C-alpha cells in the first residue's frame, strides 16, 4: 500500500502512530496468522497516504464505505473485505 503521512500537531502525529501500530499488530497476528483471512490478504492495503490519519479521526466509523474501499488496512477491515459487508 501507500506509505502513510505523519503530519500535524504532536497529538495528531501520535494518534496516527497509534493507528499504524494497531494496523501492524492486526496484520501480523491475525491477517497473516489466520486461515480465514487468506482471501483478503492481497486486497488489504491503504490506497491513500492519509488513511491512518483519517482512521485516527473516526472516519472508519463515519465514512465506512469509502474507508472499506480505500483504507481497509488502517481500519482493520480485512474480514469485511472478505465478507463483502
Could you tell me how many helices (H) and strands (E) the chain has, helices first? Answer: 6, 0
Residue spans per domain, the chain: 10-83
What is the pLDDT at residue 9?
Answer: 97
> Cα dist. 46→9, 10, 49 in Å?
22, 23, 7
Q: How many CB atoms lie within 10 A of CB 8?
A: 13
Q: Which three cell numbers stand for residue 38?
A: 487468506
At 46, phi and psi to the nearest 5?
Answer: -95, 130
Q: CA-to-CA distance for 74 and 5, rounded, in angstroms?
A: 12
Q: Which pLDDT tens digits describe the chain residue by residue (85 residues)?
A: 899 999 999 999 999 999 999 999 988 888 888 887 787 777 788 999 999 999 999 999 999 999 999 999 999 987 666 555 4
Q: CA-to-CA distance for 60 and 67, rounded, in angstroms?
A: 6
Whole-model pTM: value is 0.85
Amino acid at each position: 500500500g501507500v506509505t502513510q503521512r505523519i503530519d500535524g500537531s504532536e497529538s495528531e502525529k501520535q494518534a496516527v502512530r497509534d493507528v499504524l501500530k494497531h494496523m501492524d499488530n492486526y496484520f501480523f497476528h491475525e491477517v497473516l496468522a489466520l486461515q480465514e483471512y487468506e482471501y483478503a490478504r492481497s486486497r488489504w492495503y491503504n490506497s491513500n497516504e492519509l488513511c491512518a490519519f483519517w482512521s485516527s479521526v473516526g472516519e472508519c466509523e463515519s465514512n465506512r464505505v469509502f474507508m472499506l474501499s480505500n483504507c481497509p488496512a488502517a481500519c482493520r477491515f480485512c474480514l469485511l473485505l472478505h465478507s463483502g459487508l
